[in-house]
Chain A
Amino acid sequence: MKAYSIPENIAISDSGFIFLPTTGETFTLNETGKTIFKYFQQKRNLDEIINSLLDEYEIDRLTLERDLEDFILRLKSLNLLVEL
């Protein structure tokens, strides 16, 4: 099972606004994105994140896993997430 972590210098505000202090880039996450991002910050593993999201949202596992994978790829490409 792959594990991920948020780089130390990245902070997210309550409104879902992210500022990268080394590059000046800014991003805004929606509610779902914010929830997932915070799970990564809490160092939860992927299984835990999937189970938590299945509890919170009305969605089947297959769709959730596919969407989560897309989101992870996006975060990685923006240097907001690193694979451990």
Chain B
Amino acid sequence: MKIAVTGLNATDNPGPGVPVIRSLYYSKDFAGEIIGLIYDALEPGIYMDNITKRNYLIPYPSSGLQNLYERLVYIQQQEKIDVIIPTLDSELFGFVKLEDKLKKLGIKMFLPTFEQLNIRAKDKLFDFCKGNEINVPKNILVSSLIDLMKIPEEFEYPVVVKGIFYDAYIVNNFEEAKTAFLKISSKWGLPIIIQEFLKGDEFNVVALGDGSGQTVGAVAMRKLYITEKGKGWAGVTIFDNNLIEISKKVIEKIKWRSGMELEFIKSSETGQYYLLEINPRFPAWVYLAPNAGQNLPYALLQLALGNNVEKFDNYKVGTIFVRSSWDLITDISTLEKISTQGEI
């Protein structure tokens, strides 16, 4: 069996590819080969020992789906891949669009639908939560600098200014809001989200939905160390039934079909959890889940293959991950090969 995985960019903003692969290897039942699908010749995952068997460069989704499809047709001729596990937000729409065509090539995936992807989008999440009695920070969408004048009518400063895809800044006044608006809109476009600032601790949940509304498993984590980019560099599994129940409710309401990460803040004022974001794929810390007793990536692989999986009902609290940077040394010929031939 051959499984292709994307997102091997294990940098200071790590992709989930390497931890997904490590999770598959973690299962004693896994006996497949891993093929790396990479967007850049310097994605660290391909330089690591015992992670991928072979690797192929694939075109960025922005270069057109036909290019990606043609490249995957070529790769399929070489490899006969059984399952692709895409792990990056930016490529998901493309893979969902290609799902039927790839199925005809014999490639299975376990992805959300367009509708599911849209419901959890940053500009739609507020309405979804309000409609389903899930706590969510108040937010408004703005499309121009003039709209920023509305902030004092709706909120008290500070507020969070967020991009539609990435980036977020906490701002304390109109001037700061303006700077954040210009910075984010030039990079990620419009609209911009203005969100109520809640004081409290952040909690994350990695989960897997089976597509029928059932949660296959869910593991909650609190970040112990956060980088300047806001990435968790260490974390510990925790258990709070409220947090897991809210996550299950989200999966039930969306009928989520795939891995996901839910980001919450527990308000220090009310003690309630507020849903901040739903990321439509496993997070880069997903390798914590199998080590705590829920191998969610392996379960996703089984679902992609059409096999039944048993639901996980508990996990070990107090399991810690600590990320580290590690220099990989290799000869220039490795880079030469992947750069010139597109595969290694």
Say whether A and B bind each other.
yes
Interface residues of A (CB under 8 A from B): 19-25
B236 proximal to A (CB < 8 A): yes
Contact A21 B317 (CB under 8 A): yes
Number of A-B residue pairs with CB-CB distance less than 8 Å in the complex they form:
24
Minimum CB–CB distance for B314 against chain A, Å: 12
Q: Which of A21, A22, A23, A24 counts the most chain B CB atoms within 10 A?
A: A24
What chain A residues lie within 8 Å of B222 (beta carbons)?
Answer: 23-25
Interface residues of B (CB under 8 A from A): 201, 203, 221-222, 224, 235-240, 266, 317-318
Question: Interface on chain A toward B: helix, strand, loop, or mixed SS?
Answer: loop
Minimum CB–CB distance for A25 against chain B, Å: 8
**A25–B222 alpha-carbon span in the complex (Å):** 9
**A21–B220 alpha-carbon span in the complex (Å):** 11
What chain A residues lie within 8 Å of B221 (beta carbons)?
Answer: 24
What chain A residues lie within 8 Å of B236 (beta carbons)?
Answer: 19, 24
24 A/B residue pairs, CB under 8 Å, sorted by A = A19-B236, A19-B318, A20-B238, A21-B238, A21-B239, A21-B317, A21-B318, A22-B238, A22-B239, A22-B240, A23-B201, A23-B222, A23-B238, A23-B240, A23-B266, A24-B203, A24-B221, A24-B222, A24-B224, A24-B235, A24-B236, A24-B237, A24-B238, A25-B222
What chain B residues lie within 8 Å of A20 (beta carbons)?
Answer: 238
Minimum CB–CB distance for B179 against chain A, Å: 34
Minimum CB–CB distance for B130 against chain A, Å: 27
Minimum CB–CB distance for B115 against chain A, Å: 34
What chain B residues lie within 8 Å of A24 (beta carbons)?
Answer: 203, 221-222, 224, 235-238
Besides A19-B236, A19-B318, A21-B238, 12 other CB < 8 A contacts? A21-B239, A21-B317, A22-B238, A22-B239, A22-B240, A23-B201, A23-B240, A23-B266, A24-B221, A24-B237, A24-B238, A25-B222
